C-alpha cells in the first residue's frame, strides 16, 4: 500500500504492489491536507484493484483522468494505469464510444440507427476538429446547426429530434471528459431531455381499427390486430412470433419475446388475447401450412412495413396519423389502462408505469364524455344548470352595484374578476365596490 512522507520541497508518496514492485512520486508542496488525503485514498483503491485483477471503479478512474501528465505517466510506468489516450477527432471518438456502448448495452437496431444519425450530423458540423478544441459554446452551436437541418416530416428538424441528437453526442463527450481528453462539457446547459410530443399523440378507436382491418390484406390484418389489440412493438416483437407462442385455452394468451427489454432481464411477457384478436388469429391459423410456423411469414422480414399500412389507411379513408404502429400500440395500452388499471396495462405492454403514463396512455373522447356526464361511482349525471343571462344582474359583467345616484350599473369584466368580486362579497350591499377599488388605488398612489 502507499505511504506519504514530508520532504524539504513537498511531499513524497511511496508504494509497494503485491508483486513486489515499488513506486515513488512527488506531490507539489502547495497541496492541502484534504487534497493529499484524497490522493492517497484513491491511490490505495487503485493499487487494491490491480492486486485483485479487477478494473478500477468509475470514481477512481475519473479522479486519475484529471491529474497532471507527470503524475499520470509515473503511475503508467508502474503498471497502475493504462496509457492515457491522446487527442482524437471528435467524430472518430463518438463512433468509437458508441461502438463500445452498443456491445455493452446490447443496443437494438433502432438504437444503433439513432446513434448513426447523430454521428452523421457530428461529422458534418465538427468536421476534422479535435477533442481538445471543444469550448463551452460548441454545444449550443451544434444545437443551432440541428435546428437549421431539414426534418423528415416538417421543414425543419423537430425539437424532440434535436434534443435526442444532442443527448447522443453529449454522452460521448462526457466519457471523453472522464478520461481527461476534454476540459469542459459543451452540452452541460443544452436541453437534452426528450419528453413526449403531445401534438403527435393520437388514439385510434376500436371502430376506426375495424375499418382499417377491413382494408388490409390477410397478413397485414394480423399485424395490425397484434399491434392494436395486443400492443406488440413493430417490427422487433413480430419477427420471431410463432403459432406455438399462442395458447388457445381460456384465458387465451400470447407469449411475446421482447429484444428491447431482454437487456434489462425481461426476455418475454404474457399478453392477453382479446376476443377480436383471437378471431383474427384463428382465421390466419386456418390458412397456415405449418402448425409451428411463423405467424407473419412475410412481414416478419420487413424492416419497415409502414408503406403497406399507409396504403391500407388510405383505402379505409381514415385520416393518416403520425407514428402509425406506435399509435396502434399506445391505443391498445390506453384501453388496458381504462379496463384494468395502470399496473396491468404496463405489464401487458412490457414497459414501466412511468413510461406508460409519459408516452403511451392518452385521453380519449369516451373518457372525456364520461367525465363530463357524471363523476360519481354509479355514473349519475349532474343536475342541469341553466346558462347565465347575457348581461344584467348575475350576468357576464358580474353583480349589479348601486351607485351614488341610485342607479344599478353592472361591473365591467375587469372589475368583476379576481380583484373586486371577493372584496365585494365581504362587504355589505350598501358599499360601492367600484368606489372602494378606486379609493384603494388612490390610497396606494398617494
What's the per-residue H, E or C state across 61-115? Answer: HHHHHCCCHHHHHHHHHCCCCCCCCCCCEHHHHHHHHHHHHHHHCCCCHHHHHHH
CATH number at residue 208: 1.10.443.10
- Say whether both 350 and 209 belong to one domain: yes
Q: Do 83 and 76 meet the contact criterion of CB atoms below 8 Å apart?
A: yes
Is there a domain that residue 138 lies in? Answer: yes
Q: What is the pLDDT of residue 86?
A: 67
Q: Do 74 and 23 meet the contact criterion of CB atoms below 8 Å apart?
A: yes
The C-alpha cell at 58 is: 468509475
Q: What is the pLDDT of residue 387?
A: 61
Better pLDDT: 312 or 198: 312
Is there a domain that residue 380 lies in? Answer: no
- Say whether both 406 and 285 belong to one domain: no
- Say whether both 272 and 369 belong to one domain: yes
Q: Is the pLDDT of residue 378 over 60?
A: no
pLDDT category at 328 given cuts 50, 70, 90 is very high
**Mean pLDDT for the chain overall:** 81
- The pLDDT tens digits of the residues spanning 31-70 come to 888 888 888 888 888 888 888 888 777 778 778 877 777 8
- Say whether both 161 and 94 belong to one domain: yes
- Say whether both 180 and 246 belong to one domain: no
The C-alpha cell at 45 is: 483503491
Question: Which residues contact residue 214 at a Cβ distance below 8 angstroms, ignoring those fewer than 6 apart?
Answer: 316
For residue 360, give the DSSP letter: T
Domain enclosing residue 68, as ranges: 2-77
C-alpha Rg value of the chain to the nearest Å:
33
- Residue 395, classed as helix, strand or coil, is strand
pLDDT, mean of residues 131-148: 93
- Say whether both 247 and 103 belong to one domain: no
- The pLDDT tens digits of the residues spanning 408-429 come to 444 444 434 444 444 444 444 4
pLDDT, mean of residues 185-199: 85
**C-alpha separations of 129 from 66, 92, 111, 135, 273 in Å:** 22, 10, 26, 12, 55
- Say whether both 124 and 171 belong to one domain: yes
Is there a domain that residue 390 lies in? Answer: no
- The pLDDT tens digits of the residues spanning 265-309 come to 788 999 999 999 999 999 999 998 888 899 998 888 776 788 999
Is there a domain that residue 395 lies in? Answer: no
Q: What is the pLDDT of residue 163?
A: 94
Q: What is the pLDDT of residue 295?
A: 94
- Say whether both 63 and 131 belong to one domain: no
Domains held by the chain: number: 4
Is there a domain that residue 84 lies in? Answer: no
Q: What is the pLDDT of residue 233?
A: 94
Q: How many other C-beta atoms are found inside a 10 Å radius of the C-beta of residue 68?
A: 10
Is there a domain that residue 391 lies in? Answer: no
The reported pTM is: 0.59
Q: What is the pLDDT of residue 418?
A: 41
Q: What is the pLDDT of residue 31?
A: 81
- The pLDDT tens digits of the residues spanning 71-126 come to 888 888 878 887 766 678 999 999 989 988 888 887 888 889 999 999 999 999 99
Q: Do 234 and 325 meet the contact criterion of CB atoms below 8 Å apart?
A: yes
Amino acid at each position: 500500500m502507499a505511504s506519504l512522507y514530508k520532504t524539504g520541497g513537498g511531499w513524497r508518496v511511496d508504494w509497494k504492489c503485491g508483486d513486489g514492485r515499488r513506486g515513488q512520486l512527488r506531490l507539489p508542496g502547495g497541496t492541502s491536507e484534504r487534497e493529499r488525503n484524497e490522493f492517497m485514498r484513491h491511490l490505495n483503491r487503485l493499487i487494491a484493484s490491480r492486486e485483485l485483477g479487477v478494473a478500477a471503479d468509475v470514481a477512481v478512474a475519473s479522479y486519475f483522468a484529471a491529474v497532471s501528465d507527470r503524475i499520470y505517466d509515473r503511475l503508467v510506468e508502474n503498471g497502475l494505469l493504462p496509457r492515457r489516450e491522446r487527442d482524437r477527432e471528435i467524430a472518430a471518438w463518438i463512433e468509437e464510444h458508441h461502438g463500445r456502448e452498443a456491445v455493452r448495452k446490447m443496443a437494438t437496431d433502432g438504437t444503433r440507427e439513432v446513434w448513426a444519425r447523430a454521428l452523421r450530423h457530428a461529422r458534418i458540423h465538427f468536421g476534422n476538429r479535435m477533442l481538445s478544441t471543444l469550448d463551452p459554446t460548441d454545444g449550443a452551436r451544434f444545437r443551432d446547426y440541428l435546428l437549421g437541418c431539414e426534418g423528415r416530416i416538417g421543414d425543419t428538424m423537430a425539437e424532440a429530434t434535436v434534443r435526442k441528437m444532442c443527448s447522443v453526442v453529449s454522452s460521448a463527450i462526457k466519457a471523453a471528459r472522464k478520461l481527461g481528453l476534454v476540459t469542459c462539457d459543451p452540452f452541460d446547459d443544452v436541453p437534452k431531455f426528450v419528453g413526449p410530443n403531445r401534438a403527435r399523440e393520437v388514439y385510434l378507436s376500436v371502430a376506426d381499427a375495424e375499418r382499417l382491418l377491413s382494408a388490409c390484406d390477410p397478413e397485414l390484418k394480423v399485424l395490425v390486430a397484434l399491434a392494436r389489440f395486443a400492443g406488440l412493438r413493430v417490427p422487433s416483437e413480430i419477427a420471431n412470433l410463432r403459432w406455438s407462442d399462442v395458447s388457445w385455452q381460456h384465458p387465451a394468451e400470447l407469449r411475446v419475446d421482447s429484444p428491447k427489454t431482454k437487456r434489462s432481464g425481461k426476455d418475454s411477457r404474457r399478453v392477453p388475447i382479446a376476443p377480436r384478436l383471437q378471431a383474427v388469429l384463428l382465421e390466419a391459423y386456418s390458412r397456415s401450412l405449418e402448425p409451428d410456423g411463423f405467424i407473419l411469414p412475410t412481414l416478419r422480414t420487413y424492416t419497415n412495413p409502414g408503406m403497406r399500412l399507409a396504403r391500407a389507411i388510405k383505402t379505409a379513408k381514415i385520416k393518416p396519423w403520425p407514428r402509425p404502429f406506435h399509435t396502434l400500440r399506445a391505443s391498445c395500452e390506453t384501453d388496458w389502462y381504462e379496463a384494468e388499471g395502470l399496473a396491468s396495462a404496463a405489464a401487458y405492454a412490457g414497459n414501466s408505469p412511468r413510461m406508460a403514463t409519459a408516452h403511451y396512455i392518452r385521453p380519449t373522447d369516451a373518457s372525456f364524455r364520461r367525465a363530463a356526464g357524471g363523476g360519481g361511482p354509479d355514473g349519475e349525471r349532474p343536475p342541469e344548470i341553466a346558462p347565465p343571462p347575457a348581461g344584467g344582474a348575475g350576468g357576464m359583467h358580474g353583480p349589479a352595484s348601486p351607485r351614488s345616484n341610485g342607479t344599478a350599473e353592472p361591473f365591467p369584466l375587469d372589475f368583476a374578476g379576481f380583484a373586486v368580486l371577493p372584496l365585494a362579497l365581504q362587504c355589505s350591499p350598501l358599499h360601492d365596490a367600484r368606489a372602494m377599488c378606486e379609493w384603494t388605488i388612490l390610497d396606494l398612489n398617494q
